[in-house]
Structure 1
Amino acid sequence: MATLVLTTVGTMIGGPIGGAVGAVFGSLIDTKLLAPKGRQGARLSQLAVQTSSYGSAIPRLFGTLRVAGTVIWATDLREAQHRSGGGKGAPKTTSYSYSASFAVALSGRPIRGVKRIWADGKLLRGEAGDWKSQTGYRLHTGGEDQPVDPLIASAEGVSHTPAYRGMAYAVFEDFQLADYGNHIPSLTFEVEADAGPVSLGMIAHTLSDGDAGGAVQATLGGFAAAGDSIRGVLQDLAEAVPLVIADDGERLILSDGEAEALAIGGLVGGEERPRIERRAAGTLPDEIALGYFEPARDYQAGLQRARRAGPGRRAEGIDIAAALDASAAKALAEARLARDWAERTTAEVSLSWRALALRPGEAVTLPGRGERWRIVETTLEAMRLRLSLVASMPASGLLPPASAGRPVADADLVHGATQLVPFELPSVEDALPAGPRLWIAAAGTSPGWRRAELMVSLDGGTSWQAIGATAAPAVTGSATSVLTAGQAALRDDASRLDVTLLHDGMELVGRQDIARAAEANLALVGDELIQFAQAVRIRPGQWRLRGLLRGRRGTEWAMAGHQPGERFVLIDRPALTSWDPPASALGAMLRVQAAGVGDAVPAIAELGLRGAAIEPPAPVHLRARRRADGGVGIVWTRRSRAGWTWIDGDDVALGETAERYRLTVSAPGGRGRSVELAAPAFDYDAAAQTADGIASGAVLSFVIRQQGSLGVLSAPATTIVN
């Protein structure tokens, strides 16, 4: 039985790739190493796609390889609610976030560790061990003393939780799913099972518990072995790697077929000549396509081809679940194609019984011929030993030039600490806010920053309220030059503003249509909103802005008093988070806290809430005239926080529940009065001035503020009457 089975296996493994398993192996090798005929080895696609099917094979990993693994345990999704809004006239908004806990089997033998991890193709854990999304994580490396995982035990019970000794697996606890569409992403892991490349002999020795091995020169950067026996593993390896398998009577010996050939001329009977046959060229491939894993492309699947000149195109594809560089993979494809064509020639020769020491897998030379031949099968009959041979050729040892292809790797950027900028803005949306609105810009000190969880406190930090997550990274920094006082009527092409952004990964882009687009290149500098037409990078992380429109959306009051180092925020609404505090918080000091995966401690910033979103813009076009009777008449033009894009030429909508103004008039010595008005005009006659103790003809100062719906006053508009 051993002869028949092992002859067949020898043909399968040794055929076109240089390996041979003899017909005289012992029963130990027959039953322990090469039977039963089970599953084939791991396919590339199986290692790249995560599974959770019962009975899925767990590959045994060697070297370093990227694998998806198999989900072996998971909880239901955990839902968390976040309520925000609810200010006067605005409904509360409820948002939901989800997390999950699960375990993923990685290797059927112990490993050293896990390096990078990808989720849906994007980096989840970087080379430095930094996380790009929030999750708890534990790695069990598969040792024989491996403990039970505490999370799984708490959910399933200690008595129902295996320790999975001998199997490496990773546990994720409260994995936040917001970055992945609220579903558990497909994960892949860069697993380091052994340090450095591994030899084929070491792989065979480990998998066979010492019953196979050898001094094979070929090494692999990583390899995934799968199947019920070593049979499938050897088949996978021998399909691609030059490999000769021989039997020394006790164990399988692997070699690369480079041993010196034995001349058997003296053993050939004189009455018999070797019988030589050659297969037709049309039965052989003239192209070999080798699939493998490419380390230079983050261990993604690669393909290298070897072609032979000819009119046809008979292609054969093979896969090896191994990590190889492009040149090594190309060399294997070339060698496989060359061996296929060399081994088209076979021979049979009859020898004396004295040649019984010859075993399948050994190399020989025939009398009168210079080729090397490899013994595929031996048969003893009537005291004659018949050898079945196949022509063999030594490996060239050369690595042909090859390209791994263009990398499509997700940049491995450290998340960095969160930088937090809370601020208020005049109305920048079509629908007017009914209450105060807080805007939050957040980014990181590194381009790898993604997001952070936000909380606010209205009582000085005694209690905190979750308000969800930050938006996309905002473009923020600080001004390194000081804006001079200006005016809001014309474009300023003389002034410039230099800003330093958080890191060099942030960019500013010029736009010449800023006068026509109210939000084009809108930026907050201190408390002033500007627009800029030109942005020039003057050095890494530093930009110079020119072509400025000043005091946008009613912030002309902030054009004076700029300071070096004040905040700079690009107003790009998709990159900003908004939250509506209650109206009762007006005038209070708010604390905002952000915690991202790169923050050892949360980032905290404070802001005094003045209600800029519901603050009307200051009145304009004040016109005051002293009459001959000593009275003073003053009129002005109202503005509206709803009128920034008003283009039909008619009067802009009021934007408030009622039109109201607060006017204060004063004279030297502190005399004067304050009045509430419902129209943009006031007459201060001589009698009223006398009643207020103001001398006839005294210099008068008028200060006018429009009053918003919640009593918030605009910035002052002033004029003096001599």
Structure 2
Amino acid sequence: MATLVLTVAGGAIGGPLGAAIGATLGRTVDREVLFPAARREGPRLTELAVQTSSYGSAIPHLFGTMRVAGTVIWSTDLIEHRSTSGGGKGSAKTTQYSYSVSFAVLLSARPVIAVQRIWADGKLLRGAAGDFKVQTGFRLHRGGEDQAIDPLIAAAEGIGDTPAHRGCAYAVFEDLDLTEYGNRIPSLTFEVVADEASVDIGTIADAVSHGVVSGATGIEVLGYSAYGEDRRAIVEQLAEASGCTPEQSAGRITLHGGVGEASEVADMAARAQGDEANPRSRKIADAMTLPTAMELAHYDPARDYQAGLQRAGSNADGVSRKISLPAALSAQGAKTLAEHGLAMLRAGRDSRQVALDWSAAATPTGGYVTIAGEAGEWRVTGWSLEKMVLTLTLSRAVGSVPQVAASNGRVLPAPDRTIGRTLITVFELPPLDETAWDAPRIGIAACGEGEGWRQAALVLSSDGGASWRELGGSAPPAIMGAVIAPPGIASALIRDDRNTIEIELFASSAVLNHADSRSLDNGANLAMMGKELLQFATAEQLGDRRWRLSGLRRGLRGTERQIGKASAGDRFTLIDRDTLTVAEVPSARIGSTILIRAVGAGDPTTGTQAEVVLDGRSVVPPAPVHLRAERMGGVTTLRWVRRSRTGWRWIDGAGTPLGEDGEQYLFDAGDGGASIELSEPQYLPGGQDWSRAGVAQMGDLGRSPAASFINVEGEKA
């Protein structure tokens, strides 16, 4: 009788399934399950959407593959990083700050296999290929019973105060760069693989009920998140949403996904009356009392696990039954379950009672029977034994529902752009404005092999790698490529309309544009090709990443000596102040080698390294020009025109500013003798042979490259 009482109590709480569970769990005296104060609620979809860090937060038991938020269980304070640049002549010192943080997120109260994609504020932090979109260290503790403590947490909290969280899976982020997230921990969600394949509803029920409820139902979900201590509510939700029916036997409950094996029974009341059936024992509910539609809310993997809703039934006015299931289901799978659920509701209109001999008392609640002399199968929803007569309450059984077509709706997944390895170009930079720099400066341009590359951390060494100086993060991705067909020799004094350049850009999304004369005068389409600074007026796209450039201005800002020296494979970099990092190297000397190392999210620990040998173009004046020999009255005078590190725009159309503290030249007669210092741009060689003479302009920080005279017919240069 105790079992019967518990069955009735369970039935009052949760219907036939509740009755079966109540009866079985009653044997284990689980009073917290059997006598609740209010109606039981299973897990909800909305409770998985937001990451928490509160004590007492429910930790899900994950099955299959699911997207979950998890709970932050440990975190450091923000870690501040500083880098300083500038501070030389004509520029202020700039200190840049960036922040990172280390923290741990608890994911599942049962072991998992892997973590795949990770979203941060709705954007992919980790892609399907396992690549992180920002710089971070990452470790996954899978939840084994022999799980060791995390070394980072132990270092911060002490070994004795660091739990291993055995049996629970959690992830640890080490120095996650917060630049992309407003210097705060973003809201994270994780695609967690707890089981290698889809999971049967019965397997989940068995795990959450500790073996009380089980069964191979044949109904599978791609993933499920079970949380909370109410085991019965979880099982009830699974059974209701999947249309599974419970069968009670031998102290256990077995879930069936379709019509089970049926035994035949004979209705004693029908035989006594000589009728085929007892009309008073059969009831058909009014169709108006039933829902006209069934809605199933679920997580849709095809929509990055965002909530989906599938509907079965009429769209006409009426009552709609809605079930929320925190399971990962395809649109087709969810639609099929909704159709099956609606079919069960409609079949449930037809119910009846049969009277049996007491010897049929072994017929289980949830089992299936056929009635002698009648067609169809019936499910046992209840039974009572009185005066040795067993009365079964039956409901019309529903067979399996075929798969039905369904739409996911519009899918807008977060783009998963591969970052790839960082590519950097380093070159000594001629002054790009009218300021004369007082220390060598280099330009650093960076991009990535993948479209998802955004930034890399830069460090600089001027002593062969013995020490490194942080430069902070790189500028946004630059337009860079490689020279395929270099241009030939041309003059730096006029536009080069004869030669063209063919290049292949590293990114297919990069675009080059045309520029008219006014735009070119304002600095548009400035590029470094090898060591030559130039501009182009026309950009013609030849293929996905291949371009032809024409209308060239060659050898700009003192790089005329590099005209014609570019070769295939040299770097091509579009000079844009927004995508160029300018680094000052105050202690470096002309001729020294500067090393730059870039470490991005897609790079190995050592990052990518490039180097440049300083030739002084950033701090010394350009070589003198217009060298000539003037002969007057039998006397030859060598003359030249100075140039300046400033005044490139030539605003007044006359002279240019000196750009140095004083005007001075170093003249080399080419005869092996000592060089001569001059304060004027001229020299009288007298009777000397000046055919190999050269002159360099002295600057505050060094001398320019030498310009050579050429003796033509013994009198002109």
Structure-2-length-normalised TM-score: 0.85
SS at match of 1:406: coil
CA distance in structure 2 between the partners assigned to 1:35 and 1:166 by the alignment: 28
Partner of 1:240: 241
> Equivalences for 1:2-401 in 2 at 5 Å?
3=4, 6-7=7-8, 9-10=10-11, 21=20, 25=24, 27-28=26-27, 31=30, 34-35=33-34, 37=36, 40-88=41-89, 90-261=91-262, 264=265, 266-269=267-270, 270=272, 272-273=278-279, 274-281=281-288, 284-286=291-293, 288=295, 290-298=296-304, 300-312=305-317, 315-343=320-348, 345-354=349-358, 355-364=360-369, 372-381=377-386, 385-401=390-406
CA distance in structure 2 between the partners assigned to 1:471 and 1:152 by the alignment: 33
Q: Is the 8 A contact 2:90 2:435 kept in 1?
A: no
Q: Is the 8 A contact 1:42 1:321 kept in 2?
A: yes
> Equivalences for 1:499-510 in 2 at 5 Å?
499-502=503-506, 505=508, 507-510=510-513
In the TM superposition, residue 234 of structure 1 has moved relative to its aligned partner by 1.3
Of the structure 1 ranges 544-553 and 162-171, higher mean CA displacement relative to structure 2 is found in 544-553
Q: Is the 8 A contact 1:499 1:542 kept in 2?
A: yes
| CA shift in 2, pair 1:585/1:683, >3 Å | closer
Aligned partner (choices 485, 501, 520) of residue 524 of structure 2: 520
Q: Deviations over 1:459-481 (max 9, x none)?
A: 22222222223233333333222
In the TM superposition, residue 331 of structure 1 has moved relative to its aligned partner by 1.8
Residue type of the partner of 1:184?
A: I
| CA shift in 2, pair 1:74/1:35, >3 Å | farther
Partner of 2:582: 578
Q: Quick check: 1:487 aligned with 2:483?
A: no
Q: Is the 8 A contact 1:454 1:470 kept in 2?
A: yes
Q: Is the 8 A contact 2:10 2:23 kept in 1?
A: no
Of the structure 1 ranges 249-258 and 314-323, higher mean CA displacement relative to structure 2 is found in 314-323
CA distance in structure 2 between the partners assigned to 1:194 and 1:135 by the alignment: 27
SS at match of 2:485: coil
Q: Deviations over 1:341-361 (max 9, x none)?
A: 443x14342524535344332
| CA shift in 2, pair 1:352/1:633, >3 Å | closer
| CA shift in 2, pair 1:673/1:140, >3 Å | closer
> Equivalences for 1:531-610 in 2 at 5 Å?
531-536=535-540, 538=542, 542-582=546-586, 585-597=589-601, 598-610=603-615
Aligned partner (choices 454, 459, 475) of residue 458 of structure 2: 454
Aligned-CA RMSD value: 3.8
Aligned partner (choices 694, 699, 704) of residue 713 of structure 1: 704
Q: Is the 8 A contact 1:476 1:501 kept in 2?
A: yes
CA distance in structure 1 between the partners assigned to 2:428 and 2:571 by the alignment: 13
Aligned partner (choices 674, 679, 684) of residue 676 of structure 1: 679
Q: Is the 8 A contact 1:64 1:221 kept in 2?
A: yes
In the TM superposition, residue 392 of structure 1 has moved relative to its aligned partner by 3.9
Q: Is the 8 A contact 2:637 2:685 kept in 1?
A: no
Q: Is the 8 A contact 2:297 2:310 kept in 1?
A: no
Q: Is the 8 A contact 1:618 1:714 kept in 2?
A: yes
| CA shift in 2, pair 1:86/1:200, >3 Å | same
| CA shift in 2, pair 1:490/1:199, >3 Å | same
Partner of 1:654: 657
| CA shift in 2, pair 1:554/1:3, >3 Å | farther
> Equivalences for 1:407-486 in 2 at 5 Å?
407-411=412-416, 413=418, 415-416=420-421, 418-428=422-432, 433-486=437-490
Q: Quick check: 1:627 aligned with 2:632?
A: yes
Q: Deviations over 1:636-668 (max 9, x none)?
A: 485663544x7x766687383557353748589
CA distance in structure 1 between the partners assigned to 2:631 and 2:286 by the alignment: 117
Q: Is the 8 A contact 2:623 2:642 kept in 1?
A: no
Q: Deviations over 1:561-592 (max 9, x none)?
A: 23333222222333322211116544432222
Residue type of the partner of 1:137?
A: F
Q: Deviations over 1:604-648 (max 9, x none)?
A: 33222234334455666778754346364857485663544x7x7
In the TM superposition, residue 164 of structure 1 has moved relative to its aligned partner by 1.5
In the TM superposition, residue 339 of structure 1 has moved relative to its aligned partner by 3.4
Q: Is the 8 A contact 1:19 1:243 kept in 2?
A: no
SS at match of 2:565: coil
Q: Deviations over 1:432-468 (max 9, x none)?
A: 6453221112334444544433222222222222222
Residue type of the partner of 1:662?
A: Y
CA distance in structure 1 between the partners assigned to 2:523 and 2:596 by the alignment: 26
CA distance in structure 1 between the partners assigned to 2:652 and 2:339 by the alignment: 77
CA distance in structure 1 between the partners assigned to 2:292 and 2:51 by the alignment: 34
CA distance in structure 2 between the partners assigned to 1:70 and 1:210 by the alignment: 28
| CA shift in 2, pair 1:40/1:551, >3 Å | farther
Residue type of the partner of 1:159?
A: G
Partner of 1:641: 646
In the TM superposition, residue 363 of structure 1 has moved relative to its aligned partner by 3.5
SS at match of 2:30: helix
Q: Deviations over 1:314-368 (max 9, x none)?
A: 555432222222321222233333434443x143425245353443323445688
Structure-1-length-normalised TM-score: 0.85
CA distance in structure 2 between the partners assigned to 1:683 and 1:474 by the alignment: 44
Q: Deviations over 1:62-88 (max 9, x none)?
A: 122222211111122222332333435
CA distance in structure 1 between the partners assigned to 2:294 and 2:245 by the alignment: 23
In the TM superposition, residue 540 of structure 1 has moved relative to its aligned partner by 5.9
Q: How many residues align?
A: 701
Residue type of the partner of 1:483?
A: P
Provide structure 2 residue ranges, at least 5 long, that are not aligned to the other structure.
none
Residue type of the partner of 1:713?
A: S
Of the structure 1 ranges 184-193 and 545-554, higher mean CA displacement relative to structure 2 is found in 545-554
CA distance in structure 2 between the partners assigned to 1:432 and 1:336 by the alignment: 79
Residue type of the partner of 1:464?
A: W
| CA shift in 2, pair 1:490/1:158, >3 Å | same
| CA shift in 2, pair 1:514/1:423, >3 Å | farther
| CA shift in 2, pair 1:701/1:560, >3 Å | farther
Q: Is the 8 A contact 1:326 1:404 kept in 2?
A: no
Of the structure 1 ranges 649-658 and 593-602, higher mean CA displacement relative to structure 2 is found in 649-658
CA distance in structure 2 between the partners assigned to 1:699 and 1:463 by the alignment: 47
CA distance in structure 2 between the partners assigned to 1:514 and 1:592 by the alignment: 35
Q: Deviations over 1:532-573 (max 9, x none)?
A: 344455556544333433234443332132333322222233
In the TM superposition, residue 372 of structure 1 has moved relative to its aligned partner by 4.6
Larger relative contact order (C-alpha < 8 A, sep ≥ 6)? Answer: 1
Q: Is the 8 A contact 1:497 1:545 kept in 2?
A: yes
CA distance in structure 1 between the partners assigned to 2:555 and 2:627 by the alignment: 18
Residue type of the partner of 1:295?
A: P
Q: Percent identity among equivalent residues?
A: 38
